[in-house]
Protein backbone atom coordinates (compact mmCIF):
# COMPACT_ATOMS: atom_id res chain seq x y z
CA UNK A 1 0.00 0.00 0.00
CA UNK A 2 1.05 3.59 -0.46
CA UNK A 3 1.90 5.80 2.52
CA UNK A 4 -1.46 7.55 2.07
CA UNK A 5 -3.38 4.26 2.14
CA UNK A 6 -1.45 3.03 5.18
CA UNK A 7 -2.21 6.24 7.10
CA UNK A 8 -5.89 6.15 6.16
CA UNK A 9 -6.17 2.48 7.16
CA UNK A 10 -4.60 3.15 10.57
CA UNK A 11 -6.84 6.21 11.08
CA UNK A 12 -9.89 4.06 10.24
CA UNK A 13 -8.78 1.18 12.48
CA UNK A 14 -8.34 3.46 15.48
CA UNK A 15 -11.49 5.48 14.86
CA UNK A 16 -9.89 8.82 14.06
CA UNK A 17 -11.31 8.92 10.53
CA UNK A 18 -13.85 7.12 8.38
CA UNK A 19 -12.12 7.69 5.08
CA UNK A 20 -12.64 5.41 2.13
CA UNK A 21 -11.64 5.63 -1.52
CA UNK A 22 -13.94 7.40 -3.94
CA UNK A 23 -15.33 4.66 -6.19
CA UNK A 24 -14.87 3.32 -8.76
CA UNK A 25 -11.29 2.24 -8.22
CA UNK A 26 -9.16 2.26 -11.36
CA UNK A 27 -6.12 0.28 -12.44
CA UNK A 28 -3.29 2.19 -14.09
CA UNK A 29 -0.40 0.50 -15.91
CA UNK A 30 3.21 1.53 -15.34
CA UNK A 31 6.45 1.27 -17.29
CA UNK A 32 8.50 2.00 -14.16
CA UNK A 33 7.38 1.00 -10.69
CA UNK A 34 6.67 3.58 -8.02
CA UNK A 35 7.33 3.55 -4.29
CA UNK A 36 5.21 3.97 -1.17
CA UNK A 37 5.67 7.74 -1.52
CA UNK A 38 5.77 8.34 -5.29
CA UNK A 39 3.80 7.15 -8.29
CA UNK A 40 5.47 5.12 -11.01
CA UNK A 41 5.68 6.13 -14.66
CA UNK A 42 2.20 5.60 -16.09
CA UNK A 43 1.69 4.43 -19.67
CA UNK A 44 0.73 7.29 -22.00
CA UNK A 45 -0.34 7.46 -25.62
CA UNK A 46 -2.42 5.41 -27.97
CA UNK A 47 -5.93 4.88 -26.61
CA UNK A 48 -4.60 3.90 -23.15
CA UNK A 49 -6.86 4.83 -20.24
CA UNK A 50 -7.16 3.59 -16.67
CA UNK A 51 -9.76 0.84 -16.24
CA UNK A 52 -12.39 0.43 -13.52
CA UNK A 53 -11.57 -2.56 -11.33
CA UNK A 54 -14.05 -4.61 -9.33
CA UNK A 55 -13.26 -7.23 -6.72
CA UNK A 56 -15.25 -9.63 -4.57
CA UNK A 57 -15.05 -9.60 -0.77
CA UNK A 58 -11.59 -10.36 0.62
CA UNK A 59 -10.66 -13.94 1.51
CA UNK A 60 -7.63 -14.55 3.72
CA UNK A 61 -6.63 -10.88 3.34
CA UNK A 62 -6.60 -10.89 -0.47
CA UNK A 63 -8.77 -9.78 -3.40
CA UNK A 64 -8.57 -10.41 -7.14
CA UNK A 65 -10.12 -8.67 -10.13
CA UNK A 66 -13.53 -10.18 -10.79
CA UNK A 67 -13.67 -9.28 -14.50
CA UNK A 68 -11.24 -9.04 -17.39
CA UNK A 69 -9.47 -5.70 -17.71
CA UNK A 70 -8.77 -4.94 -21.36
CA UNK A 71 -6.57 -1.97 -22.18
CA UNK A 72 -7.24 -1.36 -25.88
CA UNK A 73 -5.10 0.49 -28.41
CA UNK A 74 -1.97 0.51 -26.28
CA UNK A 75 1.11 2.50 -27.31
CA UNK A 76 4.34 0.54 -27.84
CA UNK A 77 5.49 -0.11 -24.27
CA UNK A 78 6.86 -2.57 -21.76
CA UNK A 79 4.45 -2.67 -18.84
CA UNK A 80 6.06 -3.71 -15.58
CA UNK A 81 3.45 -2.90 -12.96
CA UNK A 82 0.11 -1.55 -11.85
CA UNK A 83 -1.31 1.09 -9.54
CA UNK A 84 -4.78 1.40 -8.03
CA UNK A 85 -6.24 4.90 -7.96
CA UNK A 86 -9.61 6.15 -6.78
CA UNK A 87 -11.93 8.49 -8.65
CA UNK A 88 -11.74 11.55 -6.38
CA UNK A 89 -11.54 14.99 -8.00
CA UNK A 90 -7.83 14.78 -7.19
CA UNK A 91 -7.33 10.99 -7.43
CA UNK A 92 -5.58 9.20 -4.58
CA UNK A 93 -3.12 6.35 -5.29
CA UNK A 94 -3.91 3.50 -2.91
CA UNK A 95 -1.62 0.65 -3.90
CA UNK A 96 0.93 -0.45 -6.45
CA UNK A 97 3.02 -3.44 -7.47
CA UNK A 98 4.80 -5.35 -10.18
CA UNK A 99 3.25 -7.91 -12.49
CA UNK A 100 4.76 -11.41 -12.23
CA UNK A 101 6.33 -10.79 -15.65
CA UNK A 102 6.71 -7.68 -17.81
CA UNK A 103 4.25 -7.38 -20.69
CA UNK A 104 5.58 -5.92 -23.96
CA UNK A 105 2.99 -4.57 -26.39
CA UNK A 106 3.24 -3.04 -29.85
CA UNK A 107 1.38 0.12 -30.85
CA UNK A 108 -2.32 -0.68 -31.25
CA UNK A 109 -2.19 -3.94 -29.28
CA UNK A 110 -4.58 -4.78 -26.45
CA UNK A 111 -3.28 -5.75 -23.03
CA UNK A 112 -5.56 -8.05 -21.04
CA UNK A 113 -5.48 -8.77 -17.33
CA UNK A 114 -7.76 -11.81 -17.13
CA UNK A 115 -10.32 -12.11 -14.34
CA UNK A 116 -8.44 -13.41 -11.31
CA UNK A 117 -5.11 -12.56 -12.98
CA UNK A 118 -4.34 -9.73 -10.55
CA UNK A 119 -4.32 -10.17 -6.77
CA UNK A 120 -3.83 -7.67 -3.96
CA UNK A 121 -2.81 -9.07 -0.60
CA UNK A 122 -2.79 -7.00 2.59
CA UNK A 123 0.41 -7.50 4.50
What number of other Cβ atoms are within 10 A of residue 3's Cβ?
12
Query: For the chain, what are the domain ranges?
Result: 21-121
Do residues 69 and 27 make contact, with C-beta atoms less than 8 angstroms apart? yes
Dihedral pair phi/psi, residue 24, rounded to 5°: -80, 155
pLDDT on residue 19:
80
Q: Is the pLDDT of residue 67 over 90?
A: yes
What gap in Å lies between CA 95 and CA 17, rounded to an integer?
19
pLDDT digits (tens, 9 = 90+) for 5-36: 999 889 988 999 878 899 999 999 999 999 99
User: Averaged over 32-57, what is the pLDDT?
Assistant: 97
pLDDT digit string (tens) for 86-123? 999 999 999 999 999 999 999 999 999 999 999 999 87
Q: Is the pTM of this model over 0.85?
A: yes
Amino acid sequence: MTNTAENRAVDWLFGTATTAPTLPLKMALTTANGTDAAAGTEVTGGSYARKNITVAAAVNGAVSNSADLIFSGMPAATVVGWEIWDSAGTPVRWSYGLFDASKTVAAGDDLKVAAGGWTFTAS
